Amino acid sequence: MTPGARLQMAIELLADIATIPRPADAVASAYFRARRFVGAKDRGAVAEIVFTVLRCDARLRWWLKWADHPDPNDARARVIAQALLGEKAAESGRRAASVARLFDGGRFSPPPFSPAETRLAEALDQHTLEHPGMPEAVRVECPEWAEAGLRRALGGRFVPEMEVMTGSAPLDLRVNPLRSTREAVLSGLAAAGIEARACRLSPLGVRVEGRPAIAALQLFQTGAIEIQDEGSQLVALLADARPGQQVVDFCAGAGGKTLAMAAAMNNRGRVIACDVLGNRLKRAAERIRRAGLHNIETRTLSSARDPWVKRHKASFDRVLVDAPCSGTGTWRRNPDSRWRPLGPGLEQLIPLQAELLDSASRLVKPGGRLIYATCSLLLEENEDQIDAFLANHPEFTPLPQAEVWPAILGGPSPLEGRWLRLSPARHDTDGFFAAILTRKGEEAKTAAPPLDPSSPPDPSPEA
């Protein structure tokens, strides 16, 4: 495929992303599935163009307005601007004339520049993506709806944290201890020609270089690994689900944390994965089978106040509420979500999170634990929610992460503060928050030793 043809596909895909109400990665997957003639190398090149544009969206639109382009939302104009202003363009010396040659109107290539696009290319020629006149929020790709909240949460770290989130997210894998060990997985990846290393914080985590086809690997197909960000792994580990316990994942979604907790329980006990979206739970079924897990049940709830919750009051040792949230901690992974939230806004999310936390808390038995988590950096969705919950629920007390970490992961916690708070700039994970609360009463007596990622898996896990 020619460079011009790749640009044309990128323009088409960006136009689809702007109009189809689905996440960009899902739109891209559907686009390429409908064009199976496109090889893996070309798919990767087109995706890189598209997601680079999405990560630079505020700056590109600022430049288009600066150049008086008539439509700053136009996909062609944004691709042209990125080709002229991006780092690769600056490094190669590519400027207006060379970019214009890619728009030659040939077969599969984009049509030639319009007069407005010619003026745009001439105006941007010799500039780079950054400009001293850019507002700070534009320079760090922060949308107006989130700026005040992120400045409040991050304080003096607002700029460095946001700058890191203009880049791409790493690719992390979680080793399934029922199927393999981290050492065996690293050896298997090396044998497949894939560069990888152990994650810094998660004892089950492996960080992979590049974007290899993980789903094609035997390690993946046999359930030895799952794709899961290191921060998400830590949330599941600190839930401290133990063999023989009764556990609920109240907002399970596609089941990533459900799988991690069930594996930590060595297939003993019971995990109930709940969600109001039954189709998401159905999609988790294949992941559960592949992982060799037999202790997971799924249940579709009608709402946060489903009668099932009342019937199972005070029945569970661990209840995880991985609440729907703004996703501000995942912007490296989902750059389009900054500009076009596809679900409820903050004004709907905050009362929903409070309702989920309040309802799920009824499931926790005396001595059991309630874990509240989000992939958000905003205080409104995190600390503020927990403060309000504790003020209304004196039967729960905080359990600082520094007290939980040594028993589960070994050694003192490398994190600061009472709650688990991870950020892309400080920890190179997605942004996560988790609070662990204990219901007053006798704590469960069973204890699990800290995880040893090198220990062999149980050859005969109990169903």
**DSSP of 379-408:** GGGTHHHHHHHHHH-TTEEE--HHHHHHHH
Whether residue 130 is found in the same domain as residue 35:
yes
Whether residue 118 is found in the same domain as residue 207:
no
Whether residue 176 is found in the same domain as residue 130:
no
Q: In this structure, is residue 441 part of a structural domain?
A: no
pLDDT for the residue numbered 444: 47
Whether residue 79 is found in the same domain as residue 175:
no
Whether residue 107 is found in the same domain as residue 184:
no
d(CA 166, CA 57): 10
Beta carbons of 235 and 191 less than 8 angstroms apart: no
CATH number of the domain enclosing 105: 1.10.940
Beta-carbon contacts of 346 under 8 Å, excluding residues fewer than 6 positions away, are 145, 149, 326, 378, 380, 381
Beta strands 420-422; 432-439: pairing state: antiparallel
Residue with tokens 């401290």: 240
Whether residue 12 is found in the same domain as residue 117:
yes
CATH number of the domain enclosing 188: 3.30.70.1170
Counted residue by residue, the chain has a size of 463
pLDDT for the residue numbered 62: 97
> What is the tens place of the pLDDT at every residue in 96-114?
888 999 998 888 899 999 9
Q: In this structure, is residue 394 part of a structural domain?
A: no
Instruction: Select from 226, 251, 271 the last residue of a domain.
Output: 226
Residue 104 to residues 97, 116, 117, 195, Cα–Cα distance (Å): 11, 16, 13, 39
* Joined tokens for residue 332: 């490296």
Assign 369 to helix, strand or coil: strand
Q: Which residues of the chain have pLDDT under 70?
A: 87-94, 442-463
Beta carbons of 82 and 60 less than 8 angstroms apart: yes
Instruction: Select from 183, 211, 226 the last residue of a domain.
Output: 226
392 burial via Cβ count (<10 Å: 0-12, 13-18, 19+) = exposed
Residue type, 337: S
Whether residue 71 is found in the same domain as residue 188:
no
Whether residue 56 is found in the same domain as residue 120:
yes
pLDDT for the residue numbered 460: 37
User: Which H or E element spans position 436?
Assistant: strand 432-439
Whether residue 65 is found in the same domain as residue 130:
yes
Choice among 142, 251, 274, 375 that is catalytic:
375
Could you tell me which of 248, 372, 379 has the C-alpha nearest to residue 315?
248
Instruction: Select from 134, 153, 182 the last residue of a domain.
Output: 134
DSSP string, 100-158: HHH----TTSPPPPPHHHHHHHHHHTT--S--TTS-HHHHTT--HHHHHHHHHHHGGGH
> What is the domain range of residue 98?
3-134
Residue type, 258: T
d(CA 235, CA 363): 19
User: Which H or E element spans position 281?
Assistant: helix 278-290
Q: In this structure, is residue 88 part of a structural domain?
A: yes
User: Which H or E element spans position 172?
Assistant: strand 171-175
| Residue 191 CA from chain centroid, whole number | 28
Q: What pTM did the predictor assign? A: 0.91
Could you tell me which of 123, 141, 124 has the C-alpha nearest to residue 86?
124
Could you tell me which of 169, 160, 147 has the C-alpha nearest to residue 55?
169
Q: In this structure, is residue 247 part of a structural domain?
A: no
Q: In this structure, is residue 419 part of a structural domain?
A: no
Whether residue 215 is found in the same domain as residue 106:
no
Q: In this structure, is residue 121 part of a structural domain?
A: yes
**56 classed as catalytic:** no
pLDDT for the residue numbered 96: 87
Q: In this structure, is residue 11 part of a structural domain?
A: yes
Report the number of distinct structural domains present in the chain: 2
Beta carbons of 377 and 431 less than 8 angstroms apart: yes
Q: In this structure, is residue 74 part of a structural domain?
A: yes
